[in-house]
Amino acid sequence: MFTTLAAAIAGLTLAHGANAANYTVHGSVIFSLYGDRTPNLAPGDYILTSLGAQQLFASGSAFRARYIASPAENSSHNVTSGSTIPGISTFDIDNSQIYVGSVDSYHTVNSAQAFLQGLYPPVGFLTSSPILPSESVLANGSAIDYPLNGYQYCPIHTYRPTDPNLVWLAGDINCEEYLLSAYEYYGSDEFTSRETSTLAFYQDIAVRGLHGIPPDVIVGYYNAYDIYDYVNYGYTHNASVRKNISSDELTQLRALASQQMFDLNGNKSASGFTRGDMIRTIAGQTFAARVLGLLQQHIDSQGVLGKLNILFGDLEPFVAFFALSGLSNVNSNFKGLPDFGSAMVFEVFSIDSSDNDSYPSEDDLWVRFLFRNGTSNDQNLIAYSLFGQGRSNTDMKWADFRNQMTGIMISRVRDWCATCGSISTFCAFYTANSTSQDTGGSSHGISPQVAGVIGAVVTLSVIGLAFVAMFLVGMRFHRSPSKQRSELGGFKGAQKLASDADLTSGRAPDGAGATKGHERVGSWELGESKAEERGFGALYKPRSLPPQDGDDISVDPLGEPVKVDDRV
């Protein structure tokens, strides 16, 4: 639940780890989950709720207090001292220091906007600064401030399904081998047993808490996450649902959803096309490459670039990385669903020495992983040990961290294409240019022509198997346009108000003038019975983003992010 800003900032104290007074954080990568939003089974677009916006705003404000704020700002907050990143701009956004990337989905991008509003709040030059920036002064001598008392516009790099860069934040999307592995899971004895044992429970919940869902949705463990998501939203926003569903029942729904999510994204024993490829953790494998690449870029620049990197995405990378890093083996909490606004944090730091003016050598750098579950005041930013080092060994030498991450990651787009058997349009390019430079590696002795034939055969086989399975269980296809991202708008969706304060996106939206306002006749919370068809059949429906045209550009997770234009 949303808490006061002061409480949220207090939650960013280190629960344990090195004494903050003797170390310096040089750079950080944050991966944040979106805030509270409307559920998948509800009609209409995903909407980041006002609660969700407040959650991410509080989270951004808290990380500002940890990494950016001046001592005067922190004087009244219980924030670990010594965590301010050296040289980071205190009040004005410096785009060479801050990198923000997001999956191109409506509620996720708006979550990034809310986070950034807290990270770099408005700076009114006309009222707070004796020296005006030159771009705010006109030829006639008058000065003009930015809207909303100096609102700051931080570019957000968004990645669409046609963009290879989406792989690093959502490696499970458009991954056919991941989909086939999910089919196998839903046909397993383990799934069948759990579905049978929980059927009565779900049917009972449906009578009291699932009013208004599409009529073709399977009520049972098959849709464990979507059902929990729907009931949890109602429990938060609807007094009738809170009255009809007990907290114990909500806890049980969450536990079942967590089990399903972990089975689909944290099972390292499941293989796809290649034995041992851990296909269900694909989202964590590509995410690990992005984290390592951003940190390596920061180190290579001697701390000049990428001081603070903030990524926004979905649940799958969380669950998959928890499994790959060994966190779920030593702490069962990491097999559960993260709360809205949760954040994984990777800090590069050094132990303070007499020479604090120069950037340390790689031999003197350490990495610490921290996790904060949600944004409530009782959730601290806690350091955890990775890769089975032992509970007390939360700090890793940079070289050790790099070696461990290299062992679990997929760092090349063409390797992802091959592992997934993906038919994404950009994969055709990497198949045809398998000998071109792509972060090193070999082409495994297969010519582009042969690789193309193999890819075509694999693709047809995948499609054929999928259609056979669909035929056997009677799966139906439905067009599901309603969950597409609104191209423009504030937290309220496509009905953008003039007062909605949005931030610029890394890409210009396609067809912005063709958006259709989001209509709500009556109230879903009061139990609208008519809902648009969602496409839920008898097989697993992978998450996806709306297909849009986009540029196939820079795809190297170890390379420098796209340069941005600082102009407003």
Q: What does the alpha-carbon distance between residue 70 and residue 72 come to, in Å, rounded to a whole number? A: 5
Which one-letter amino acid corresponds to residue 49?
A: T
Cβ-contact 238, 206 below 8 angstroms: no
Instruction: Give the residue from 108, 118, 117, 111 showing the smallest Cα distance to 6.
Output: 118
Q: Is the pLDDT score of 312 beyond 90?
A: yes
Q: Is the pLDDT score of 497 beyond 80?
A: no
What's residue 568's pLDDT? Answer: 43
Q: Which of 5-14, 150-159, 359-368, 443-452 has the lowest mean pLDDT?
A: 443-452
Q: 1-124+143-411+474-512+522-568 — its CATH code? A: 3.40.50.1240
SS3 sequence of 58-124 = HHHHHHHHHHCCCHHHHCCCCCCCCCCCCCCCCCCCCCCCEEEEEECCHHHHHHHHHHHHHHCCCCC
How far, in Å, are 92, 184, 195, 310, 381 from residue 53 at the CA level? 22, 38, 35, 16, 20
In the chain, what percentage of residues exceed pLDDT 70?
67
- Max CA-CA distance within the chain? 77
Q: Quick one: which H or E segment has residue 158?
A: strand 157-159
On the 0-12 / 13-18 / 19+ scale of CB atoms within 10 A, 210 is buried
Cβ-contact 310, 99 below 8 angstroms: yes
Mean pLDDT across 480-488: 38
Buried b / exposed e across 51-87, counting CB within 10 Å, b at 16+?
ebbbbbbbbbbbbbbbbbbeeeebeebebbeebbbee
Q: How confident is the model at residue 46 (pLDDT cuts 50, 70, 90)?
A: confident
Mean pLDDT across 137-161: 79
Mean pLDDT across 144-148: 73
Cβ-contact 108, 505 below 8 angstroms: no
Name residue, tokens 């701390």: 303
What's residue 451's pLDDT? Answer: 39
What's residue 352's pLDDT? Answer: 77
Domain spans, the chain: 1-124+143-411+474-512+522-568, 413-473
Q: What does the alpha-carbon distance between residue 51 and residue 2 come to, in Å, rounded to a whole number? A: 7
| pLDDT, tens only, 317-334 | 999 999 999 999 988 899
What's residue 434's pLDDT? Answer: 58
The per-residue pLDDT of the chain, averaged, comes to: 75
Q: What letter does residue 136 receive in the DSSP assignment?
A: G
